[in-house]
């Protein structure tokens, strides 16, 4: 490199160094490609590496700077892009062999925006078939391994991007979150994952094909990084109304000064106590917030079990329709087929239009209770998972395993059900040598408030050792 950067450097550090001509974007990309070559064979986080295309894109950033042009706030920042987000450099496989040749005609809006801001895609991140599982494995690319402990799951579905960010192979990961798919891998890998408010970041172009209602309402795109300020930087580029996504909004954000500095702590899930290491991470985060001047109180999450059950039953009802092998033209992969079978059997999908409609009608009741709570207690602190990261394939093995995996994540999936923003971040290392972590849940479009709380947690807990 022209001038050494910290290793691994943050996205903000990289962009500042490149824009200041202290280092070239090409050198930054070369360093990341070399790290990918060293690290990825041991974790299998990345499915496609764009060595030549990334070098060309980095050289274009350097050429813009040499010509006196501003390449953007992400100048030269290496990113990974999940396998279900359109990037014209390779097929958008969704982790499924049936889409192995599905090269998109154009970039997804968020990819277009981060590239226009100077970011350089270096690779694609692995995921399970159609993002269905809470582990990352598929028949096309294989399993992603947890870099902290190969006997623990890397989480899913954005597991590849979380591991790539944690190990320094990319500075930012672009993923999405339908039921914890950003936050659970962030917890597993010890990185920061932001699930934005529903509509704040464009999800996907709608091109004449029907989109399941749960996918419209529960799923959002979002960034992962090694620090809170980097996800703030990424959100600033990714967010905003998009003509191709009817769910996207240009809504005004809640200003932090308008909300009380009060955090409500949820320590378990409707009778399910958090693992002691998880509880210790919550306590560290709560203490950090208290020291930073936040008032911390215990609260009960309104209608938590009901909301989690509704999320699951609605999701499984739609998955049975949209992922029917007869409609897809060929079956899902081995593990995805098993997961869909067990989860839908345990969830009891809705069998009538009346049941389905009544379930959606309950959402407004639950959302109103949460809104009332968050007027007084705007930020909720709790676990991403009430358990430590479990073994690979922890979400397979029958209905009991499917139930257990879902119960670990009640607080997490309720965020999806309600369309709220949530920030997952590390809270130190547990006695087992794995990262602990928490999530902060804000009111709709309250990301800036979450970022203030997240910075307080980040500053107050022990940093993770480098991988």
* CB-CB contact of 237 with 113 (8 Å): yes
Residue whose token pair is 């996907």: 204
Note if 157 is an active site residue. yes
Q: How far apart are CA 1 and CA 155, in angstroms?
A: 34
Q: How far apart are CA 391 and CA 229, in angstroms?
A: 31
Q: Write down the H helix ranges in 247-352.
A: 276-291, 304-322, 325-328, 334-347
Which of 409, 386, 388 has its CA nearest to residue 309?
Answer: 409
Q: How far apart are CA 285 and CA 461, in angstroms?
A: 7
Residue in 10, 181, 197, 269 annotated catalytic: 181
Q: How far apart are CA 260 and CA 162, in angstroms?
A: 32
Q: How far apart are CA 83 and CA 300, in angstroms?
A: 37
Structure-block tokens of residue 460 = 């107050």
Q: Write down the H helix ranges in 109-170.
A: 109-116, 159-166
From residue 200, how far is each of 222, 245, 380 by CA, in Å? 10, 11, 20
Note if 7 is an active site residue. no
Q: Is the dihedral of CA 334, 337, 340, 345 positive or negative?
A: negative
Indicate the length of the chain as a whole number: 467
Residue in 10, 82, 269, 343 annotated catalytic: 82
Which of 431, 389, 434 has its CA nearest to residue 408?
Answer: 389
Q: How far apart are CA 234 and CA 252, in angstroms?
A: 18
* 3-state class (DSSP) for residue 232: helix
Q: How far apart are CA 409 and CA 398, in angstroms?
A: 18
Residue in 80, 90, 153, 157 annotated catalytic: 157
| Helices and strands per DSSP (H, E), number in the chain | 16, 13
Note if 82 is an active site residue. yes
Q: Write down the H helix ranges in 323-430.
A: 325-328, 334-347, 353-376, 399-407, 410-418
Q: Write down the H helix ranges in 124-224.
A: 159-166, 183-189, 213-218
Report the catalytic residues.
82, 157, 181
């Amino acid at each position: 490199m022209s001038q050494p950067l910290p290793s691994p450097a943050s996205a903000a550090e990289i962009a500042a160094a490149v824009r200041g001509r202290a280092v070239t974007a090409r050198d930054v990309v070369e360093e990341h490609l070399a790290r990918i070559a060293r690290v990825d064979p041991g974790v299998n986080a990345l499915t496609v590496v764009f060595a030549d295309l990334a070098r060309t894109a980095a050289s274009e950033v350097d050429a813009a700077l040499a010509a006196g042009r501003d390449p953007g706030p992400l100048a030269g920042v290496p990113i990974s892009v999940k396998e279900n987000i359109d990037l014209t450099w390779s097929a958008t496989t969704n982790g499924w062999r049936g889409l192995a040749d599905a090269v998109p005609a154009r970039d997804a809006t968020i990819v277009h925006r981060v590239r226009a801001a100077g970011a350089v895609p270096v690779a694609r991140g692995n995921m399970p078939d159609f993002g269905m599982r809470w582990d990352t494995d598929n028949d096309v690319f294989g399993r992603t391994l947890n870099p902290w402990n190969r006997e623990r799951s890397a989480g899913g579905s954005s597991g590849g991007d979380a591991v790539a960010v944690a190990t320094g192979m990319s500075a930012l990961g672009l993923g999405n979150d339908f039921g914890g798919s950003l936050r659970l891998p962030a917890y597993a890998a010890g990185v920061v994952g932001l699930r934005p408010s529903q509509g704040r970041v464009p999800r996907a172009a709608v091109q004449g094909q029907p989109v399941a209602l749960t996918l419209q309402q529960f799923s959002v795109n979002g960034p992962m990084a090694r620090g809170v300020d980097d996800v703030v930087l990424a959100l600033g580029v990714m967010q905003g109304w998009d003509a191709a996504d009817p769910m996207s909004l240009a809504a005004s954000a809640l200003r932090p000064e308008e909300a009380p500095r009060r955090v409500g702590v949820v320590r378990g899930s409707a009778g399910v106590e958090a693992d002691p290491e998880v509880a210790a991470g919550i306590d560290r985060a709560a203490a950090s917030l208290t020291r930073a001047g936040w008032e911390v109180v215990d609260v009960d999450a309104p209608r938590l079990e009901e909301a989690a059950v509704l999320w699951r039953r609605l999701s499984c009802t739609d998955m049975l329709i949209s992922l029917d092998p007869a409609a897809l033209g060929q079956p899902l992969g081995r593990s995805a087929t098993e997961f869909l079978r067990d989860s839908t059997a345990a969830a009891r999908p809705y069998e009538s239009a009346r049941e389905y409609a009544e379930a959606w009608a309950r959402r407004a009741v639950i959302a109103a209770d949460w809104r009332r709570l968050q007027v007084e207690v705007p930020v909720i602190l709790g676990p991403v998972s009430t358990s430590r990261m479990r073994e690979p394939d922890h979400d397979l093995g029958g209905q009991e395993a499917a139930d257990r995996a879902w119960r670990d994540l009640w607080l997490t999936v309720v965020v999806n059900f309600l369309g709220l923003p949530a920030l997952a971040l590390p809270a130190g290392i547990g006695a087992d040598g794995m990262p602990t972590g928490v999530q902060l849940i804000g009111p709709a479009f309250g990301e800036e408030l979450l970022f203030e709380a997240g910075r307080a947690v980040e500053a107050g807990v022990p940093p993770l050792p480098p991988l």
